[in-house]
Structure 1
Amino acid sequence: MAAGKTSMMPIISKLYCSSSQTVLLVRRRPHVVNGGGFVVSDCCTQKVVFRVDGCGVLGTSGQLILKDGDGDALLLLRRKEGLVEALSIYRKWKGYTLDYERSQKVVFNLKDPVSCLLRNNAIRICTEPRVVSNKGWDFEIRGYFPDKNCSVVDSWGNIVVQVGVKKEVEQVMESKDFYHVVVKPGIDQAFVFGVIAILDNIYGESTYC
Protein backbone atom coordinates (compact mmCIF):
# COMPACT_ATOMS: atom_id res chain seq x y z
CA MET A 1 0.00 0.00 0.00
CA ALA A 2 1.28 3.47 -0.87
CA ALA A 3 2.57 5.62 1.97
CA GLY A 4 -0.06 7.95 3.38
CA LYS A 5 -2.94 6.06 1.77
CA THR A 6 -5.79 5.18 4.12
CA SER A 7 -6.88 1.56 4.22
CA MET A 8 -10.64 1.34 3.73
CA MET A 9 -12.71 -1.23 5.59
CA PRO A 10 -16.16 -1.26 3.96
CA ILE A 11 -18.67 -3.47 5.74
CA ILE A 12 -21.86 -1.82 4.50
CA SER A 13 -20.34 0.24 1.67
CA LYS A 14 -17.15 2.14 0.84
CA LEU A 15 -19.42 5.18 0.46
CA TYR A 16 -19.41 5.42 4.25
CA CYS A 17 -15.64 5.14 4.66
CA SER A 18 -13.87 8.51 4.98
CA SER A 19 -10.18 9.06 4.26
CA SER A 20 -9.96 11.34 7.31
CA GLN A 21 -11.02 11.13 10.93
CA THR A 22 -14.65 12.16 11.36
CA VAL A 23 -16.43 13.58 14.41
CA LEU A 24 -20.19 13.01 14.48
CA LEU A 25 -22.81 14.28 16.92
CA VAL A 26 -25.60 12.03 18.13
CA ARG A 27 -28.86 13.63 19.25
CA ARG A 28 -31.45 11.44 20.89
CA ARG A 29 -35.04 12.09 19.91
CA PRO A 30 -37.32 13.63 22.56
CA HIS A 31 -38.33 11.35 25.42
CA VAL A 32 -42.00 11.86 24.53
CA VAL A 33 -41.36 9.71 21.46
CA ASN A 34 -41.03 6.37 23.23
CA GLY A 35 -38.35 4.31 21.54
CA GLY A 36 -38.03 6.93 18.82
CA GLY A 37 -34.32 6.59 18.07
CA PHE A 38 -31.65 9.16 17.34
CA VAL A 39 -30.16 11.41 14.66
CA VAL A 40 -26.47 11.61 13.65
CA SER A 41 -24.97 14.83 12.25
CA ASP A 42 -21.55 15.84 10.99
CA CYS A 43 -20.01 18.12 13.61
CA CYS A 44 -18.44 20.37 10.98
CA THR A 45 -21.26 20.78 8.46
CA GLN A 46 -24.26 20.05 10.78
CA LYS A 47 -25.61 17.88 7.96
CA VAL A 48 -27.68 14.86 9.02
CA VAL A 49 -25.73 11.74 8.05
CA PHE A 50 -27.78 8.92 9.61
CA ARG A 51 -31.06 8.36 11.42
CA VAL A 52 -32.05 5.40 13.56
CA ASP A 53 -35.69 4.41 14.01
CA GLY A 54 -36.41 2.56 17.24
CA CYS A 55 -39.24 0.23 18.20
CA GLY A 56 -41.51 3.18 19.02
CA VAL A 57 -41.43 4.10 15.31
CA LEU A 58 -41.38 0.57 13.89
CA GLY A 59 -43.85 -0.93 16.36
CA THR A 60 -41.65 -4.02 16.78
CA SER A 61 -39.51 -4.78 19.82
CA GLY A 62 -36.00 -6.01 19.13
CA GLN A 63 -35.87 -4.42 15.69
CA LEU A 64 -34.21 -1.18 14.56
CA ILE A 65 -33.53 0.48 11.21
CA LEU A 66 -30.52 2.62 10.27
CA LYS A 67 -31.23 5.12 7.49
CA ASP A 68 -29.04 7.53 5.58
CA GLY A 69 -29.52 11.29 5.74
CA ASP A 70 -32.13 11.14 2.95
CA GLY A 71 -34.20 8.58 4.84
CA ASP A 72 -33.29 5.53 2.76
CA ALA A 73 -32.89 2.31 4.78
CA LEU A 74 -29.35 0.96 5.01
CA LEU A 75 -29.45 -1.62 7.79
CA LEU A 76 -32.06 -3.73 9.51
CA LEU A 77 -30.92 -4.59 13.04
CA ARG A 78 -32.72 -7.51 14.64
CA ARG A 79 -32.37 -9.29 17.97
CA LYS A 80 -32.62 -13.06 17.71
CA GLU A 81 -35.49 -14.48 19.72
CA GLY A 82 -36.93 -17.88 20.53
CA LEU A 83 -36.39 -20.67 23.04
CA VAL A 84 -32.76 -21.31 22.07
CA GLU A 85 -31.94 -17.61 22.47
CA ALA A 86 -33.86 -17.43 25.77
CA LEU A 87 -31.62 -20.18 27.18
CA SER A 88 -28.43 -18.73 25.71
CA ILE A 89 -25.75 -17.00 27.76
CA TYR A 90 -25.56 -14.37 25.02
CA ARG A 91 -27.97 -11.76 23.69
CA LYS A 92 -27.54 -11.98 19.91
CA TRP A 93 -28.16 -9.34 17.26
CA LYS A 94 -27.67 -9.40 13.49
CA GLY A 95 -27.25 -6.55 11.03
CA TYR A 96 -28.75 -7.00 7.55
CA THR A 97 -28.22 -4.78 4.51
CA LEU A 98 -31.31 -3.96 2.48
CA ASP A 99 -31.13 -3.67 -1.31
CA TYR A 100 -33.61 -2.04 -3.68
CA GLU A 101 -35.66 -5.26 -3.77
CA ARG A 102 -35.69 -5.30 0.07
CA SER A 103 -33.80 -8.60 0.18
CA GLN A 104 -31.68 -9.06 3.30
CA LYS A 105 -28.03 -10.03 3.65
CA VAL A 106 -26.26 -10.52 6.99
CA VAL A 107 -23.17 -8.30 7.28
CA PHE A 108 -22.38 -8.58 10.99
CA ASN A 109 -23.51 -10.16 14.24
CA LEU A 110 -23.08 -8.93 17.80
CA LYS A 111 -22.99 -11.00 20.98
CA ASP A 112 -23.65 -9.44 24.37
CA PRO A 113 -22.92 -11.72 27.37
CA VAL A 114 -25.94 -11.77 29.67
CA SER A 115 -24.82 -14.52 32.04
CA CYS A 116 -23.27 -13.46 35.35
CA LEU A 117 -20.51 -15.96 34.54
CA LEU A 118 -19.50 -13.87 31.53
CA ARG A 119 -19.79 -10.34 32.91
CA ASN A 120 -16.09 -9.70 32.44
CA ASN A 121 -16.35 -10.58 28.76
CA ALA A 122 -16.69 -7.72 26.29
CA ILE A 123 -19.45 -7.28 23.74
CA ARG A 124 -17.96 -8.65 20.53
CA ILE A 125 -18.78 -8.23 16.86
CA CYS A 126 -18.07 -10.51 13.91
CA THR A 127 -18.38 -9.31 10.33
CA GLU A 128 -19.71 -11.52 7.55
CA PRO A 129 -17.61 -12.31 5.60
CA ARG A 130 -14.93 -12.11 8.25
CA VAL A 131 -12.56 -9.13 8.15
CA VAL A 132 -10.01 -10.79 10.43
CA SER A 133 -9.30 -14.50 10.85
CA ASN A 134 -6.78 -14.67 13.71
CA LYS A 135 -9.47 -14.50 16.41
CA GLY A 136 -13.08 -15.49 16.82
CA TRP A 137 -14.18 -11.84 16.55
CA ASP A 138 -13.35 -8.69 14.61
CA PHE A 139 -14.28 -5.88 17.01
CA GLU A 140 -15.14 -5.52 20.67
CA ILE A 141 -16.65 -2.81 22.90
CA ARG A 142 -14.52 -1.53 25.76
CA GLY A 143 -15.81 0.83 28.41
CA TYR A 144 -19.42 1.52 29.42
CA PHE A 145 -21.80 2.86 26.79
CA PRO A 146 -24.40 4.40 29.19
CA ASP A 147 -21.65 6.68 30.54
CA LYS A 148 -20.82 7.67 26.96
CA ASN A 149 -17.27 6.59 27.66
CA CYS A 150 -16.44 3.61 25.50
CA SER A 151 -14.61 2.60 22.36
CA VAL A 152 -14.72 0.06 19.56
CA VAL A 153 -11.43 -1.81 19.30
CA ASP A 154 -10.30 -4.09 16.48
CA SER A 155 -8.74 -7.51 17.10
CA TRP A 156 -5.25 -6.00 17.02
CA GLY A 157 -6.14 -3.67 19.89
CA ASN A 158 -6.46 -0.48 17.81
CA ILE A 159 -9.18 1.98 18.83
CA VAL A 160 -11.22 2.61 15.68
CA VAL A 161 -14.20 4.41 17.27
CA GLN A 162 -14.41 6.53 20.41
CA VAL A 163 -17.72 7.45 22.05
CA GLY A 164 -17.70 10.39 24.45
CA VAL A 165 -19.08 13.79 25.39
CA LYS A 166 -17.15 16.85 24.25
CA LYS A 167 -16.60 19.36 27.06
CA GLU A 168 -18.27 22.15 25.13
CA VAL A 169 -21.32 19.93 24.47
CA GLU A 170 -21.45 18.85 28.11
CA GLN A 171 -21.27 22.44 29.35
CA VAL A 172 -23.91 23.78 26.98
CA MET A 173 -26.37 20.90 26.91
CA GLU A 174 -25.84 19.34 30.35
CA SER A 175 -27.59 16.31 28.92
CA LYS A 176 -26.71 12.79 27.83
CA ASP A 177 -29.10 13.29 24.92
CA PHE A 178 -26.07 14.64 23.05
CA TYR A 179 -22.76 12.86 22.63
CA HIS A 180 -20.08 12.59 20.00
CA VAL A 181 -18.53 9.69 18.13
CA VAL A 182 -15.03 9.90 16.64
CA VAL A 183 -14.53 7.49 13.74
CA LYS A 184 -11.01 6.75 12.52
CA PRO A 185 -10.14 6.99 8.80
CA GLY A 186 -11.26 4.08 6.64
CA ILE A 187 -13.84 2.72 9.09
CA ASP A 188 -17.36 2.18 7.77
CA GLN A 189 -19.51 4.78 9.54
CA ALA A 190 -22.80 3.04 8.68
CA PHE A 191 -21.51 -0.10 10.39
CA VAL A 192 -20.41 1.98 13.40
CA PHE A 193 -23.86 3.48 13.91
CA GLY A 194 -25.53 0.13 13.39
CA VAL A 195 -23.47 -1.10 16.35
CA ILE A 196 -24.25 2.04 18.38
CA ALA A 197 -27.96 1.61 17.68
CA ILE A 198 -27.78 -1.92 19.14
CA LEU A 199 -25.86 -0.69 22.20
CA ASP A 200 -28.48 2.04 22.68
CA ASN A 201 -31.20 -0.62 22.68
CA ILE A 202 -29.34 -3.10 24.91
CA TYR A 203 -28.94 -0.44 27.59
CA GLY A 204 -32.57 0.74 27.37
CA GLU A 205 -31.94 4.17 25.86
CA SER A 206 -33.56 6.11 23.00
CA THR A 207 -34.49 3.16 20.74
CA TYR A 208 -35.91 0.93 23.47
CA CYS A 209 -39.61 0.43 24.29
Structure 2
Amino acid sequence: MEGGAGLMPVVSKTYCSAFLTTLVVRRRPHVVNGGGFVVTDSNQKVVFVVDGCGRIGAKGVLLVRDGDGASILRIRKKEGVIQALSCDHRWNGYLLDYDEGKMDPIFSLRDTNPCFPFGKPTRISIHPKSKTKPWDYELLGSFAERNCAISTRNGAVAAQVIGLREITGSKDLYSVVVQPGYDQAFVIGVIAVLDNINGESTSC
Protein backbone atom coordinates (compact mmCIF):
# COMPACT_ATOMS: atom_id res chain seq x y z
CA MET A 1 0.00 0.00 0.00
CA GLU A 2 1.29 3.43 -0.97
CA GLY A 3 2.81 5.11 2.06
CA GLY A 4 3.00 1.78 3.87
CA ALA A 5 0.00 2.22 6.18
CA GLY A 6 -3.47 3.69 6.59
CA LEU A 7 -6.62 3.76 4.51
CA MET A 8 -7.03 5.52 1.17
CA PRO A 9 -10.73 6.33 0.85
CA VAL A 10 -12.16 7.93 -2.28
CA VAL A 11 -15.86 7.09 -1.88
CA SER A 12 -15.71 6.24 1.83
CA LYS A 13 -13.43 4.57 4.37
CA THR A 14 -16.35 2.13 4.85
CA TYR A 15 -15.17 0.41 1.68
CA CYS A 16 -11.52 0.19 2.70
CA SER A 17 -10.33 -3.07 4.26
CA ALA A 18 -7.16 -3.69 6.22
CA PHE A 19 -6.87 -7.02 4.43
CA LEU A 20 -6.32 -8.20 0.87
CA THR A 21 -9.76 -8.64 -0.68
CA THR A 22 -10.72 -10.78 -3.66
CA LEU A 23 -13.98 -9.84 -5.36
CA VAL A 24 -15.71 -11.73 -8.16
CA VAL A 25 -17.46 -9.84 -10.96
CA ARG A 26 -20.32 -11.58 -12.75
CA ARG A 27 -22.12 -10.11 -15.74
CA ARG A 28 -25.89 -10.05 -15.54
CA PRO A 29 -27.73 -12.38 -17.96
CA HIS A 30 -27.46 -11.31 -21.59
CA VAL A 31 -31.25 -10.93 -21.78
CA VAL A 32 -30.87 -7.75 -19.71
CA ASN A 33 -29.55 -5.31 -22.32
CA GLY A 34 -26.89 -3.13 -20.76
CA GLY A 35 -27.86 -4.45 -17.36
CA GLY A 36 -24.44 -4.21 -15.76
CA PHE A 37 -22.80 -6.63 -13.33
CA VAL A 38 -22.82 -7.99 -9.80
CA VAL A 39 -19.81 -8.12 -7.44
CA THR A 40 -19.53 -10.76 -4.71
CA ASP A 41 -16.98 -11.47 -1.99
CA SER A 42 -15.25 -14.75 -1.08
CA ASN A 43 -18.43 -15.89 0.70
CA GLN A 44 -20.51 -15.26 -2.45
CA LYS A 45 -22.24 -12.37 -0.73
CA VAL A 46 -23.24 -9.49 -3.00
CA VAL A 47 -21.20 -6.41 -2.02
CA PHE A 48 -21.72 -4.16 -5.07
CA VAL A 49 -24.09 -3.96 -8.01
CA VAL A 50 -23.40 -1.84 -11.10
CA ASP A 51 -26.32 -0.69 -13.23
CA GLY A 52 -25.80 0.15 -16.89
CA CYS A 53 -27.96 2.04 -19.37
CA GLY A 54 -30.34 -0.91 -19.85
CA ARG A 55 -31.53 -0.47 -16.26
CA ILE A 56 -31.01 3.27 -15.81
CA GLY A 57 -32.48 4.22 -19.18
CA ALA A 58 -29.70 6.61 -20.17
CA LYS A 59 -26.41 6.17 -21.98
CA GLY A 60 -23.24 7.53 -20.46
CA VAL A 61 -24.51 7.03 -16.91
CA LEU A 62 -23.47 4.28 -14.49
CA LEU A 63 -24.71 3.63 -10.98
CA VAL A 64 -22.82 1.73 -8.26
CA ARG A 65 -24.92 0.35 -5.40
CA ASP A 66 -23.89 -1.47 -2.25
CA GLY A 67 -24.97 -4.99 -1.32
CA ASP A 68 -28.17 -3.67 0.29
CA GLY A 69 -29.18 -1.86 -2.88
CA ALA A 70 -28.37 1.66 -1.72
CA SER A 71 -26.84 3.95 -4.37
CA ILE A 72 -23.35 5.09 -3.39
CA LEU A 73 -21.69 6.32 -6.59
CA ARG A 74 -22.99 7.86 -9.81
CA ILE A 75 -20.67 8.06 -12.81
CA ARG A 76 -21.31 10.19 -15.89
CA LYS A 77 -19.55 10.45 -19.20
CA LYS A 78 -18.63 14.04 -19.95
CA GLU A 79 -20.64 15.35 -22.89
CA GLY A 80 -20.71 18.52 -24.97
CA VAL A 81 -19.37 19.80 -28.29
CA ILE A 82 -15.76 19.99 -27.14
CA GLN A 83 -15.93 16.49 -25.73
CA ALA A 84 -17.56 15.17 -28.93
CA LEU A 85 -14.64 16.51 -30.95
CA SER A 86 -12.09 15.27 -28.44
CA CYS A 87 -9.92 12.23 -28.94
CA ASP A 88 -10.55 10.73 -25.51
CA HIS A 89 -13.22 9.57 -23.07
CA ARG A 90 -13.75 11.54 -19.87
CA TRP A 91 -15.86 10.23 -17.00
CA ASN A 92 -16.64 11.82 -13.64
CA GLY A 93 -17.65 9.98 -10.46
CA TYR A 94 -19.96 11.65 -7.93
CA LEU A 95 -21.14 10.70 -4.45
CA LEU A 96 -24.75 9.72 -3.72
CA ASP A 97 -25.86 13.32 -3.10
CA TYR A 98 -24.64 14.26 -6.58
CA ASP A 99 -26.29 17.36 -8.06
CA GLU A 100 -25.02 18.12 -11.54
CA GLY A 101 -23.59 21.60 -11.79
CA LYS A 102 -23.43 22.07 -8.03
CA MET A 103 -20.92 19.48 -6.92
CA ASP A 104 -17.40 18.62 -8.00
CA PRO A 105 -16.61 15.00 -8.86
CA ILE A 106 -14.65 12.87 -6.40
CA PHE A 107 -12.68 11.33 -9.25
CA SER A 108 -12.34 11.58 -13.02
CA LEU A 109 -11.07 9.07 -15.55
CA ARG A 110 -9.50 9.98 -18.87
CA ASP A 111 -9.00 7.36 -21.54
CA THR A 112 -7.06 8.30 -24.67
CA ASN A 113 -6.71 4.76 -26.00
CA PRO A 114 -9.04 5.31 -28.97
CA CYS A 115 -6.41 7.63 -30.45
CA PHE A 116 -3.17 6.48 -28.85
CA PRO A 117 -3.52 2.72 -28.23
CA PHE A 118 0.19 2.19 -27.70
CA GLY A 119 1.36 5.25 -25.82
CA LYS A 120 -1.32 6.89 -23.69
CA PRO A 121 -2.50 4.94 -20.63
CA THR A 122 -5.88 5.41 -19.01
CA ARG A 123 -5.42 7.70 -16.01
CA ILE A 124 -7.56 8.55 -13.00
CA SER A 125 -7.44 11.75 -10.94
CA ILE A 126 -8.75 12.07 -7.39
CA HIS A 127 -10.44 15.39 -6.60
CA PRO A 128 -9.59 17.95 -5.53
CA LYS A 129 -6.61 17.68 -7.84
CA SER A 130 -3.11 18.42 -6.63
CA LYS A 131 -1.13 21.02 -8.59
CA THR A 132 1.92 18.78 -8.36
CA LYS A 133 0.05 15.58 -9.31
CA PRO A 134 -2.15 15.88 -12.40
CA TRP A 135 -3.19 12.23 -12.00
CA ASP A 136 -3.18 9.67 -9.19
CA TYR A 137 -3.76 6.24 -10.75
CA GLU A 138 -3.26 4.64 -14.13
CA LEU A 139 -4.39 1.47 -15.82
CA LEU A 140 -1.66 -0.94 -16.89
CA GLY A 141 -2.41 -3.88 -19.17
CA SER A 142 -5.64 -4.77 -20.95
CA PHE A 143 -9.06 -4.80 -19.31
CA ALA A 144 -10.55 -6.40 -22.44
CA GLU A 145 -8.19 -9.35 -21.93
CA ARG A 146 -8.91 -9.39 -18.18
CA ASN A 147 -5.26 -8.83 -17.41
CA CYS A 148 -4.67 -5.37 -15.97
CA ALA A 149 -3.84 -3.43 -12.83
CA ILE A 150 -4.80 -0.08 -11.32
CA SER A 151 -1.52 1.41 -10.09
CA THR A 152 -0.58 4.57 -8.21
CA ARG A 153 1.83 7.23 -9.46
CA ASN A 154 4.49 5.55 -7.30
CA GLY A 155 3.97 2.24 -9.07
CA ALA A 156 2.15 0.50 -6.21
CA VAL A 157 -0.62 -1.84 -7.36
CA ALA A 158 -3.98 -0.87 -5.84
CA ALA A 159 -6.05 -3.55 -7.59
CA GLN A 160 -5.73 -6.23 -10.27
CA VAL A 161 -8.23 -7.67 -12.72
CA ILE A 162 -7.63 -11.37 -13.25
CA GLY A 163 -9.46 -13.36 -15.89
CA LEU A 164 -11.03 -16.73 -15.15
CA ARG A 165 -11.58 -17.77 -18.76
CA GLU A 166 -9.39 -20.87 -18.42
CA ILE A 167 -11.74 -22.04 -15.68
CA THR A 168 -15.11 -20.75 -16.88
CA GLY A 169 -14.54 -20.42 -20.64
CA SER A 170 -16.07 -16.93 -20.50
CA LYS A 171 -15.06 -13.28 -19.99
CA ASP A 172 -18.29 -12.67 -18.10
CA LEU A 173 -16.80 -13.87 -14.83
CA TYR A 174 -13.51 -12.52 -13.47
CA SER A 175 -11.87 -11.53 -10.20
CA VAL A 176 -10.70 -8.18 -8.86
CA VAL A 177 -8.03 -8.33 -6.17
CA VAL A 178 -7.91 -5.14 -4.07
CA GLN A 179 -4.86 -4.48 -1.93
CA PRO A 180 -5.27 -3.54 1.76
CA GLY A 181 -6.35 0.03 2.43
CA TYR A 182 -7.69 0.88 -1.02
CA ASP A 183 -11.30 1.89 -1.59
CA GLN A 184 -13.17 -1.06 -3.10
CA ALA A 185 -16.15 1.07 -4.21
CA PHE A 186 -13.78 3.37 -6.09
CA VAL A 187 -12.09 0.39 -7.74
CA ILE A 188 -15.44 -1.03 -8.85
CA GLY A 189 -16.39 2.42 -10.17
CA VAL A 190 -13.26 2.41 -12.33
CA ILE A 191 -14.04 -1.15 -13.49
CA ALA A 192 -17.57 0.00 -14.42
CA VAL A 193 -16.16 2.74 -16.67
CA LEU A 194 -13.69 0.36 -18.30
CA ASP A 195 -16.53 -2.09 -18.89
CA ASN A 196 -18.56 0.61 -20.64
CA ILE A 197 -15.68 1.93 -22.71
CA ASN A 198 -15.05 -1.59 -23.98
CA GLY A 199 -18.71 -2.01 -24.95
CA GLU A 200 -19.40 -4.74 -22.43
CA SER A 201 -22.11 -5.40 -19.81
CA THR A 202 -23.03 -1.78 -18.94
CA SER A 203 -23.31 -0.50 -22.52
CA CYS A 204 -26.36 -0.58 -24.81
TM-score by length of 2: 0.91
- State which of 169, 188, 194 in structure 2 corresponds to 1:193: 188
What residue is the counterpart of 2:177 in the other structure? 182
Compared with structure 1, are the counterparts of its residues 145 and 100 closer, same or farther at alpha carbon in structure 2 (3 Å cutoff)? closer
Q: Is the 8 A contact 2:113 2:122 kept in 1?
A: no
Q: Aligned with 1:26: secondary structure? A: strand
Shift of 1:104: 5.2
Whole-Å separation in 2 of the counterparts to 1:34 and 1:126: 30
Distance between the aligned counterparts of 1:46 and 1:118, measured in 2?
Answer: 36
For 1:5-154, what aligned pairs fall within 5 Å after superposition? 6-43=5-42, 45-99=43-97, 105-114=104-113, 116-117=115-116, 119-130=118-129, 134-154=132-152
Question: Which amino acid in 2 is paired with 1:205?
Answer: E
Q: How far apart in 2 are the matches of 1:89 and 1:101?
A: 27
Distance 1:115 1:206, change over 3 A: closer
Counterpart for residue 165 of structure 1: 163
1:60 aligns to what SS in structure 2?
coil
2-structure distance, mates of 1:24, 1:124: 22
Structure 1: gaps (5+ residues): none
Structure 2, unaligned stretches of length 5 or more? none
Distance 1:99 1:61 in 2: 20
Q: Report Cα offsets for 1:111-164 as digits up to 9, x if no partner.
A: 01155357411000000124x664320000010101100000100011111101
Contact kept, 8 Å, 1:164 with 1:179, in 2: the verdict is: yes
What secondary structure does 1:191 align onto?
helix
Q: Is the 8 A contact 1:79 1:94 kept in 2?
A: yes
RMSD between aligned residues: 2.1
Q: CA distance change for structure 1 residues 26 and 75 in 2, over 3 Å: closer, same or farther?
A: same
Task: Select between 5-14 and 59-68 the one with higher mean Cα deviation.
Answer: 5-14
C-alpha contact 1:98 1:104 (8 A) present in aligned 2: no
Say whether the 8 Å CA contact 2:6–2:181 is kept in structure 1: yes
Q: Is the 8 A contact 2:64 2:74 kept in 1?
A: yes
The one-letter code matched in structure 2 to 1:196 is I
Contact 2:49 2:67 in 1 (8 A): yes
The number of residues matched between the two structures is 200
- 115 and 164 in structure 1: CA distance in 2 versus 1, 3 angstrom threshold: closer
Normalising by structure 1, report the TM-score: 0.89
